[in-house]
Amino acid sequence: MSTLQVENLIGPTSGSNANKVIIPSGQTLDASNGFIPPAGSVVQTKTFETTTQLVSTSQSYQDILTLNITPLYNNSVLLVAGVVQGVAYQGTAQYNGSKWQSAVTPSGGSSTTQKINEYMLHFPTGEYYGGSVPFNFKYTVSSTVSHIVKIQAFSRNGSSNAFRSRNNETSFISIQEIAQ
């Protein structure tokens, strides 16, 4: 095996392949031990989806969707998006509902929370179907330790709430790590 050491590779300045360095078909450029992605590049994506119902009367935050990600870079931005489907108030009193937030916790660190929906109002009496809680936010990491990303909710006034998938709807969370 031979090694070629260069400081810069440049393509020809004119012609059909101007300013291109071409790797021939059947060959692979392996930069896994030193590739630096350009800013704005998606360097990894994690997703989770479920149709499992979750019902609670708890008046403290419950984990509705949870996904772990270990950033590849210590200054990346995590773009988090998704939707919780099938949210339903199942009590008999009027004007009850649920509160929603996101929580991001780096391993060994403190949780950062952000409100998603201050008050998901379910106003009819009896069972109410069809609610959705969409969410999207960004979080800037400062280390490459594992981060737990959660979507959480709690029941106002201890009322029964289907927090997820009341009628087998699909709820999901997706996280993209974006290089800076």
CATH of the domain at 109: 2.60.120.760
- Residue 161 belongs to a domain: yes
- Residue 28 belongs to a domain: no
- Residue 34 belongs to a domain: no
CA–CA dist 91, 35 (Å, integer): 55
Question: 70 pLDDT band (50/70/90 cuts)?
Answer: very high
In this predicted model, which residue has the larger pLDDT, 69 or 23? 69
Averaged pLDDT of the chain = 88
Q: What percent of the chain has pLDDT over 70?
A: 88
Q: Domain count for the chain, please give it.
A: 1
Range(s) of the domain holding residue 48:
42-178
- Residue 150 belongs to a domain: yes
pLDDT per residue as tens digits for the range 150-169: 999 988 777 777 788 888 88
pLDDT per residue as tens digits for the range 125-139: 555 555 789 999 999
- Residue 60 belongs to a domain: yes
Q: In terms of DSSP H, where are the helices of 53-112?
A: none
- Residue 6 belongs to a domain: no
Residue 9 pairs in a beta bridge with: none
**Secondary structure of the chain: what % helix, strand, coil (to 5)?**
0, 50, 50
pLDDT for the residue 16: 94
Question: 1 pLDDT band (50/70/90 cuts)?
Answer: confident
pLDDT for the residue 137: 97
Reply yes or no on whether the pLDDT at 67 is more than 70: yes
